[in-house]
Structure 1
Amino acid sequence: MSKILIGKYEATIYPEGSGFTGALSLGFSPDGKRRRIKRKGKTKTEFKTKLIEVVDDLESGIDGSASYTVRDAVEDWLTKGLKDRDPGTITTNRILADKHVIPLIGEAKLRDLRADDVDEWLDGLTGKLSTRSLQGVHSILKRAIRQAQARNKVLRNVAELVTTPKGKAGRPSKALTLAQATAVLEKSKTSPLHAYVVLSLMTGVRTEEARALRWDHVVAWVDDRTGWRPVTDVGFDHKRFAIYVWRSVRAHGDTKTEKSRRTLELPEEVAQALRLHHKRQAEQRLKAGKDWQDHGLVFCTRTGAPLDAGNVRRAFRGITRKAKIGEKWTPRELRHSFVSIMSDNGVPIETIADLVGHAGTAVTEKVYRHQLKPVITKGAETMNTIFSQHKSA
């Protein structure tokens, strides 16, 4: 065994097998244990070169292992960097990482990763992923390396130096015609998703807002003195109903933006669908017994648990298939259909923006300045007229 100096650090070296092994002494850790970094090389020169690289990293503030890979960085980020995110976000990032990041670029040593490597990786995905998905996988790598930087495992974030390329064109969103919308409403009557479809189509709420809707946010108009009261208190034996769109399935239960919080009066068909849905849910609750999970949700599973977005999409495809308009429709396109039908029937864009919770106009900004908004009745009045006329035609 012999000793050598690498900068200000002392290293020991000894023959082992067909090469050399040694360790660089870094003093002692706060708990009193000796800190050492081991390296191996086929020759003394190779071994010394590796130790010089270690010292260079130490002097620049980097103490990452030469074997630390992109996979390691991504796994560390998925484990430590998403602690406060909602389950849906965690699942989405895990799927993208497992499918498009780790298998394709994960074995690269993080300290050796170059901007050209990231460019080539992203370019190889342009024919497979949409621009949005490419932005997602690129973001995973950038944030994983950023976390590694914060832990002194790499000096710079080369992923930040690369521009995300454009991906393949995604399927453009589309809207149901009035005839298609009527067919969907009819065929959804035998589905547990019926009230969900009617509400989404006739009020324009976002899918994440519909899935988060609670029964205490479905309200009935009692009288001029009492005003709007939750149906959980006053029941459905009333003529006018509204919903408080104040929650979503996003992290912390917030709507997409603060200005998305709104109160919408319900068309008669929506109120009737919710009335029947409430009755059926009560029956399901009795049947489930002790297995029932009481989240107070309007739309839930047979045991009261929150609905999964994937299950909603599959059930909706079944409805559109029965309506003979194909299966290439998504629940969020009920919202697009609402906007299209309202626009086709002469409703001003400012009113539509209010109804769907969009910002961007002076009127919208004024209406949504306060947390509790006035009830918007135009959507209910228009939908009552549109669909009653179509059915009587």
Structure 2
Amino acid sequence: MVLDHTAALKKLKEIIRDYEDELLVSSTGYTVADAVRNWLEFGLSGWGSGTVDKCTILTNKHIIPVLGARKLVDLTADDVDRWLADKAKTLSTRTLRELRSILVRAVSRAQARDKVKRNVALLCEIPKGREGRPSKSLTLDQAEAVLKASEGTALHAYVVLSLLLGARTEELRALTWSHVDLDGTPPSIMVWRSVREGGDTKTRKSRRTLALPRRCVDALKLHRERQDVAKRAASDSWQDNDLVFTSKVGTALDAHSVRHSFRTVLKKAALNATDWTPREMRHSFVSLLSDSGVPLENISRLVGHRNTSVTETVYRKQLRPTLLEGAEAMDRIFPNS
């Protein structure tokens, strides 16, 4: 009984203090779920549809099921710490950072509307999550097997351009025929767009024009012939967006459809389909160029990086930097007796 009285007295003092500080919360029934849903509905104006979808999925899968029913005024930093620590067992550090960011933004919006007096999510550190699956690259034999397996499929030209040009998957999905020059000297493509919001490439340096290897030219010519056949078959259903890579009715490919088709190719190449993703063709491009002795500076320009340090950071496992100058000079100075 004494404990109940003490707790009640403590709560009363907190309410009085909040009232005196003009911080009394107006909506004590407002939950964490209410806050994040309000943010999703009204706080993402101007954001890309992909980002909105991602935030919605993360919220519905990881925040609302665990914290959603709790009243926002009762949410503590300890609650958030425990939630993040539990999620760290199965999620990457990057995903944990995104989850905390969503919660911080949602609570900040609620705080600005007098639903809660402070943002406890700001008091919480992001724990280290699970290590993500490391990216890897195909060997030359594996790359040849994938190229061979893709022949005769709708993804053939896509695979060829990914492996032989190192273009990002979001760049290829946005590639238009108006940016393809198969008759030029040399033949080339202009990698000027992506499926990112606004159609911009990842960075300004990513906007580049690439000469086409002969194998890419042949694949694109064959792909254009097959697309013409698909247009005639679709008739009035065809949506002409000038896109190089499309569905059977001319609409843009999404990431899921590319992954699905790529896995079919991998199975034909006798590779484990779950071990590889389309973006690792770009990693393979870097690795194969590095193995053949192409300088890092050239590789960096080809993949559209700001500088070589970005290339070294992103593709450190694919690059084989060998400093030969010193060894070669010493062999000349001190020849083997």
| Bin of the TM-score, shorter chain as denominator length | 0.7 to 0.9
- 1:57 and 1:346 map into 2 onto residues whose CA distance is 71
Cross-structure match for 1:279 = 225
| 1:178 corresponds to 2:140 | yes
- 1:364-383 map, 5 Å: none
| Aligned counterpart in structure 2 of residue 84 of structure 1, from 43, 46, 49 | 46
How many pairs are equivalent?
Answer: 299
CA contact (8 A) 2:296 2:308 kept: no
- What's the CA shift for 1:355? 0.2
Q: What residue is the counterpart of 2:289 in the other structure?
A: 342
Q: From the superposition, tell whether residues 163 and 358 of structure 1 become closer, same or farther in structure 2 (CA, over 3 Å).
A: same
| Secondary structure of the structure 1 residue equivalent to 2:151 | helix
Amino acid at match of 2:295: P
Q: Is the 8 A contact 2:230 2:249 kept in 1?
A: yes
- The AA in structure 1 aligned to 2:299 is I
SS of the residue 1:190 aligns to: coil
Residue 307 of structure 2 corresponds to 360
- 8 Å CA contact 2:187–2:212 kept in 1: the answer is yes
Distance apart, 1:197 and its partner CA: 0.8
Letter in 1 for 2:66: L
**Pairing 1:29-108 to 2, within 5 Å after superposition:** 53=15, 56=18, 60=22, 64-108=26-70
> CA RMSD for the aligned pairs?
2.2
What residue in structure 2 maps to residue 219 of structure 1? 181
- In structure 2, do the counterparts of structure 1 residues 54 and 182 end up closer, same or farther at CA, with 3 Å as the change threshold? farther
In the superposition, the TM-score normalised over structure 2's length comes to 0.83
Which structure's residues are more often helix, by fraction? Answer: 2
Query: Which of 94, 103, 108 is matched with 1:146 structurally?
Result: 108
Structure whose alpha-carbon radius of gyration is higher: 1
| Secondary structure in 2 matching 1:93 | helix
- Cα distance in 2, alignment partners of residues 282 and 60 from structure 1: 69
The Cα offsets for residues 56-78 of structure 1, whole Å up to 9 and x where unpaired, read as 46963665411111111111111
- 1:230 alignment counterpart: none
CA distance in 2, matches of 1:174, 1:57: 58
Quote how far apart the aligned CAs of 1:121 are: 0.2
Structure 1, unpaired ranges of 5+: 1-45, 223-238, 365-393
- Deviation string, structure 1 residues 154-185 (Cα, Å, up to 9, x no partner): 23221122111111111100000000000000
**1:314 maps to which residue?**
260
| CA deviation string 1:209-250 (max 9, x = no partner) | 11111111112454xxxxxxxxxxxxxxxx632111111111
Partners of 2:195 and 2:113 lie apart in 1 by 32
Matching residue's letter, 1:323: A
Q: Shift of the alpha carbon at 1:86?
A: 2.4
Return the structure number with greater relative CO, CA threshold 8 A, min gap 6. 2
Q: Tell me the CA shift for residue 96 of structure 1.
A: 1.2
Q: Equivalent of 1:270, from 195, 216, 230?
A: 216
Matching residue of 1:29:
none
CA distance in 2, matches of 1:81, 1:60: 25
Task: Give the equivalent residue in structure 2 for 1:298.
Answer: 244
Structure 2: 5+ residue runs without aligned partners?
Answer: 1-7, 312-337
Tell me by how many angstroms 1:305 deviates.
1.3
Q: 1:298, CA displacement in angstroms?
A: 0.9
CA displacement at 1:150 relative to structure 2: 3.1
What is the SS of the residue equivalent to 1:263?
strand
More strand by share: 1
Mapped partners of 1:61, 1:221: distance in 2: 70
State how far apart, in whole Å, the 1-side matches of 2:209 and 2:114 are: 49
Q: Aligned in 2, Cα 1:171/1:361: closer, same or farther, shift over 3 Å?
A: closer
Change (3 A) 1:310 1:56: same
TM-score, length-scaled by structure 1: 0.72
